[in-house]
Amino acid sequence: MNTIENLKWRYATKKFSGQRIDAEDLNKILEATNLSASSTGLQPFRIFVVENEELRKELGAGSFNPQIVQSSHLLVFAAHNKITLAHIENYMAHIAQQRDIPVEALADFKAALVGGILSRSDEENFNWAARQAYIALGTALIAAAELQIDSTPMEGFDAAKFDTLLQLEEKGLRSVVILALGYRDTENDGFVNLKKVRLDLADLVTFVQ
Ligand SMILES: Cc1cc2nc3c(=O)[nH]c(=O)nc-3n(C[C@H](O)[C@H](O)[C@H](O)COP(=O)(O)O)c2cc1C
């Protein structure tokens, strides 16, 4: 199937079958997600893959989303709660190492990032970081669909509880959105055959001449 067909095939799965995703496919989704674009390339977020059923029961308790527990794997996208000079310097060192150039060659780029990012408040930077995490979420959704793996993006979770149970605050992170992965329960998920509801392209898009 091509990408459009795969995106028509995907839907926000409400009931998973219990079938597990194999490690190779999971890795492909994670690799694709890592290839997602991010503003300045900083990737100011991290992803936690939660498999453990007991932990997922705790995470999902009280949520209206049983997918937190019933999916094969749960991905938690967590954004940096503040951006520091160390984040920027680590990023410069990483670019220099990957591209085999002296870090000094990145002085202008570093100055632009320091001037732009560090002049904003921590809250502004957290919101910016969260937006980058959402772009990665979109990439993960597409990658999963291309592999015919089902998924549910979710904001219906207790972020404070996730942060505590996954010890995210200690890592300078806050959970922002989660993604359940697995295989649809075709028999029991009433959403399987629902027609997709989307705007007409003409209502979504304006071509500006
Ligand atoms: C950021 C985000 C948060 C969402 N949160 C939930 C959620 O908590 N529970 C749920 O069942 N679906 C959730 N959804 C799924 C949407 O309801 C779904 O994508 C939308 O209705 C369109 O349907 P489709 O994805 O099946 O085409 C979320 C989707 C997004 C993008």
**Which residue, judged by its Cα, is nearest atom 15 of ligand 1?**
12
Determine, yes or no, domain membership for 88. no
* 67-74 average pLDDT score: 98
Q: What is the per-residue pLDDT across 134-155, written as a single tens digit (0 to 9) for each?
A: 999 999 999 999 999 999 999 9
Decide: 157 in ligand 1 pocket, CB within 6 A: no
Determine, yes or no, domain membership for 112. no
Residue-number span of the structural domain to which 181 is assigned: 3-83+118-204
Position 1 confidence tier, pLDDT thresholds 50, 70, 90 = low
Determine, yes or no, domain membership for 25. yes
Determine, yes or no, domain membership for 78. yes
Determine, yes or no, domain membership for 75. yes
Number of domains in the chain: 1
Model's pTM, two decimal places?
A: 0.97
Q: What is the per-residue pLDDT across 101-126, written as a single tens digit (0 to 9) for each?
A: 999 999 999 999 999 999 999 999 99
Determine, yes or no, domain membership for 99. no
* 52-64 average pLDDT score: 96
Helix (H), strand (E), coil (C) string for the chain: CCHHHHHHHCCECCCECCCCCCHHHHHHHHHHHHCCCCHHHCCCEEEEEECCHHHHHHHHCCCCCCHHHHCCEEEEEEEECCCCHHHHHHHHHHHHHHHCCCHHHHHHHHHHHHHHHCCCCHHHHHHHHHHHHHHHHHHHHHHHHHCCCEEEEECCCCHHHHHHHCCCHHHCEEEEEEEEEECECCCCCCCCCCCCCCCCHHHHCCCCC
Decide: 70 in ligand 1 pocket, CB within 6 A: no
Determine, yes or no, domain membership for 139. yes
Determine, yes or no, domain membership for 70. yes
Decide: 177 in ligand 1 pocket, CB within 6 A: yes
Position 168 confidence tier, pLDDT thresholds 50, 70, 90 = very high
List the CATH number of the domain containing 172: 3.40.109.10
